[in-house]
Amino acid sequence: MTSVDADKQAERGAKSSTGHERDDLPPVIAIDGPSGAGKGAVAQVLANQLNYHLLDSGAVYRAAAIICKKAGADISSESSVLAALDAFQATFHPQGTDGVVVMIGEENITNELRTQQTAEIASQIAVMQPIRAALLDEQRSFRQPPGLIADGRDMGTVVFPDAQLKVFLTASVEERANRRAKQLKEKGIETTMAVLMAEIDARDKRDSTREHAPLKAAHDALFIDSSSLSIEEVVDLIVNAASSE
Ligand code: DC
């Protein structure tokens, strides 16, 4: 299981004891789409600009993947994965404009979160409905005043169906592979476009054809293709759309 900071939990407990949170839920801007579409960067800029909280739901799944690895769970078995998630806890510590530090107990797993192996395991356990259900409350707990930017695959369709604004952000496979190649190069990792495109294609297929909460645009989502847009241009489109809601 995962949890946000203890102080946030205390705040949450206080609110739910008054029933306030249920009556007057903070607004959510849901940003869904495939990996590499620029969701993470756009969500971070938006959260800074609007002073909203930020949920990187992929990080919740990735932390669950690392928990499975550390616990030696059999990732093809729902019960084995659930037992691992029951035994260990990941905590999320927002660092302002510098993203989030993720810990399992005393161990900082922030760097491990971004490896290809972690992404693969996350994508595999994310197909299992009981795992998705186990991570649902945790994701919803990030909804705190004054509002939340939620980045993921099913933010507008499943986790926050009442979001004030739903965005489906995508980009061509070529452009997403280009962006990934650039990120990897900065880390000194060389790879080929063919390999990257094949990896992106395989993950897209798994994420969008899975039975439970597949990657798809909510029927009321604003569709944005970021292939030839800068982060700032995408942010402006979203801010304009949110203010006309
Ligand atoms: O966005 P990401 O690459 O960090 O996500 C890693 C994996 O987690 C992704 O392949 C599918 C899964 N995921 C999901 O199923 N639902 C979400 N809302 C976010 C991520």
Which CATH number fits the domain that encloses residue 164? 3.40.50.300
**What Cα–Cα distance (Å) separates residue 75 from each residue in 28, 79, 91?**
32, 9, 21
Domain span at residue 185? 2-7+26-243
User: Does 76 fall in a domain?
Assistant: yes
What string of DSSP letters covers 104-169?
A: ETTEE-TTGGGSHHHHHHHHHHTT-HHHHHHTHHHHHTT--TT-EEEEESSIIIII-TT-SEEEEE
Q: Tell me the whole-structure pTM to 2 decimals.
A: 0.86
User: Does 12 fall in a domain?
Assistant: no
Pocket-testing residue among 153, 159, 167, ligand 1, by greatest number of atoms within 8 A of Cβ:
153
Q: For the chain, give the percent of residues with pLDDT over 90.
A: 71
CB atoms within 10 A of CB 216: 15
User: Does 14 fall in a domain?
Assistant: no
In this predicted structure, the answer to whether residue 13 has a pLDDT above a threshold of 90 is no
**pLDDT one-digit tens code per residue, 155-166:** 999 999 999 999
In this structure, what token pair is assigned to residue 77? Answer: 């078995």
CA angle at residue 32 from 175 to 202, to 5 degrees? 55
Side-chain half-sphere CA neighbours of 45 within 13 A: 15
Tell me the CA–centroid distance for residue 3 and ligand 1, in Å: 17
- The amino acid that residue 214 corresponds to is P
In this structure, what token pair is assigned to residue 129? Answer: 């409905």
Is 57's C-beta closer than 6 angstroms to any atom of ligand 1?
yes
* 155 Cα nearest atom in ligand 1: 18
User: Does 121 fall in a domain?
Assistant: yes
User: Does 81 fall in a domain?
Assistant: yes
Region of 36 please: left (phi>0), alpha (psi -120 to 50) or beta. Answer: left
User: Does 18 fall in a domain?
Assistant: no
Q: How many residues does the chain have?
A: 245
For atom 5 of ligand 1, which residue has the closest CA? 58
**pLDDT one-digit tens code per residue, 54-86:** 999 999 999 999 999 999 999 999 999 999 999
User: Does 69 fall in a domain?
Assistant: yes
User: Does 51 fall in a domain?
Assistant: yes
Number of separate domains in the chain: 1
Is 90's C-beta closer than 6 angstroms to any atom of ligand 1?
no
